[in-house]
Chains A and B, each alone.
Chain A
Amino acid sequence: MAGANHNHQRGRNAIEVRELRRRFDRQQVLNGVNVDCPTGMITTIVGPSGCGKTVLLKHMNLLLRPDSGSVVIDGDEITRMRGRELDRVREKFGMLFQAGALFDSMTVRDNVAFPLVEQTRLRPAAIEAKVKETLAAVGLDGVGRKYPSELSGGMQKRVALARALVREPKILMLDEPTTGLDPTRISAIHTLVRETQQKFDLSAVMVSHDVPDVFEISDRVAFMHDGKVHLYGTVDEVMNAHDERFEHFLKGKAEGVEHELGPGR
């Protein structure tokens, strides 16, 4: 099937973040973040726990507002937007939350249909067809009548992914889509994300802990440390940069332990 034509201007960035700063109580979580998420590509944000990855992601769709800095979506600066203007920008997004964030009082089918029911004027038959199609695309036929609590964690994430995709967003945002899943599921989700990105022709930004598995589907990698993007580039560029912090991070991941590097190193 043809992906939705989003009239991408290839070479432009779907998301541009410049000098983003954000403090929570006494902690400077984002300390001048700069990152580009190119159109039509998957950008992965990695880093040690607590480095601000999810906070950064939430600034990109303005769930959180920065103290200073800018976020540009498809050429529009969004940090000062409110109300209907902001809603229109948000309609470009589909977001997969860490635990799925499915509405537990609704069935799977109602969850996936929700964005269509609330935000479009499609007729029920058209909505039904779209929901079926999207659930099939994530490999979940026939679970429509179940409630989220009746599904396994992996299936819940796939439903959440279907809900994020059902309006064919321009930009897909994923917050740790594979955390907590077993290894076979992890590679299945990664493949699914890549296939979906190609099929629907969208841009994606993904926060992930599953390093180095996630590099298989990353077009760009941003390694965060101390509230800044420490390293950015293609997977090859980043792996060949011989950056001490990054290598320490990779090593820690390989051993299944995460070390905190002191500032002096």
Chain B
Amino acid sequence: MERFGALIIDSITSLGDFLLFLMNAGAYVVLPPYKPRLAVRQVRIIGADSLLLIVLIGAFTGMVLGLQGYNTLRRFGSEGALGTVVALVLVRELGPVLAALMIAARAGSAMAAELGSMQASEQIDALTVMAINPVQYLVSPRLLAGVISFPLLTSVFDVIGIWGGYAVGVGLMGAPGGSYLNGIAQNMTGNDVTTGLYKSLVFGVVVMWVCCYKGYHAQRMATGVSRATTEAVVLSSVLILASDYVLTSLLL
């Protein structure tokens, strides 16, 4: 019984820690002293270095959508709507979610591992003793970089995906090309685009927050770092999809 009670208390304490961590890191993004160079470096690591992966996944996703979409729409004689379908699905849903999952798996896990091994080798303690706030120095730049990178990468994903859908649906399967592109122009609204971008912003915060937290609080042993990395990716993924539902119902 006592152990159960202790478990509940520990869970609530951890949750509180988790939230405070985000508030702390977020505060330091806007409070001086500013360290723009650190944020720029993180944008390169999280954003620019993930570009190739995003292009690849975006292309394949678009291509599959083109294929599946064409097959399904043909049953109703609505091949002309392919462009609309591919574009809306990507921009509203798959773009933000898949891009976030990919970045979490790649950059997020690396971040958790890096912070985890810094914690294990006392580098974070070293910062503290030098009167430098480790959260401000390590986490805030990453948070800011996430907010900048995620929407940009999502946009790239969307565009590449739409072209992938075109390549397969129109080029390969023979759907009408003019309708594909016109459909998008006529049926996509600003709201669709902003929905997708808001989602990617939220995902950016969530992924950076979770991965930095897990790495920062890794246990100081070899298994500690690997466990932190795994938990970071798993928790990021779960939270991406859970918040996706919440955001979709709010923004719809």
Contacts and interface: CB of A to CB of B under 8 A. Distances in A.
B130 A90 contact: yes
Interface in B108-159: 118, 121-123, 125-126, 128-132
Interface string A82-96: 000011101101010
Interface stretch (A11-19, A113-121, A205-213, A214-222): A113-121
A77 B130 CA distance: 19
A97 B131 CA distance: 15
B129 A63 contact: yes
A246 B198 CA distance: 66
Contacts of A95: 126, 129
B131 A90 contact: yes
A103 interface: yes
B125 A114 contact: no
Interface residues of B, number: 11
B125 A101 contact: yes
A86 B130 CA distance: 11
Nearest to B125: A63
A99 B122 contact: yes
A101 B131 contact: no
A98 interface: yes
Contacts, number: 40
B100 to A, nearest CB: 26
Contacts of A97: 122, 125-126
Nearest to A64: B125
A62 to B, nearest CB: 9
B121 A115 contact: no
B130 A114 contact: yes
Chain B interface helix/strand/loop/mixed? helix
Contact of A119 (B121, B122, B125, B131): B131
B122 A98 contact: yes
A115 B130 contact: yes
A61 interface: yes
A88 B131 CA distance: 8
- A interface, size bucket: 20 to 34
Contacts of B122: 97-99, 101
Contacts of A115: 130
Nearest to B128: A63
A123 B123 CA distance: 25
Contacts of B130: 90, 114-115, 118-119
Interface string A64-90: 000000000000000000000011101
Contacts of B123: 101-104
A98 B126 CA distance: 11
A98 B132 CA distance: 20
B128 A101 contact: no
Contacts of B121: 99, 101, 104
A99 B131 CA distance: 20
A118 B129 contact: no
A86 B128 CA distance: 10
A98 B123 CA distance: 11
B219 to A, nearest CB: 13
B230 to A, nearest CB: 22
A114 B130 CA distance: 9
Contacts of A114: 130
A58 B125 CA distance: 9
A88 B129 CA distance: 11
Nearest to A105: B114
B129 to A, nearest CB: 5
Contacts of A91: 131
Contacts of A118: 130, 132
A119 B131 CA distance: 8
Interface in B11-25: none
B67 to A, nearest CB: 43
Interface of A: 58, 61, 63, 86-88, 90-91, 93, 95, 97-99, 101-104, 114-115, 118-119
24 contacts: A61-B129, A63-B128, A88-B131, A90-B129, A90-B130, A90-B131, A91-B131, A93-B129, A95-B126, A95-B129, A97-B122, A97-B125, A98-B122, A99-B121, A99-B122, A101-B121, A101-B123, A101-B125, A101-B126, A103-B123, A103-B126, A104-B123, A118-B132, A119-B131
Given A63-B128, A101-B123, A115-B130, 10 more contacts: A90-B129, A93-B129, A97-B125, A97-B126, A98-B122, A101-B122, A103-B118, A103-B126, A104-B123, A119-B130
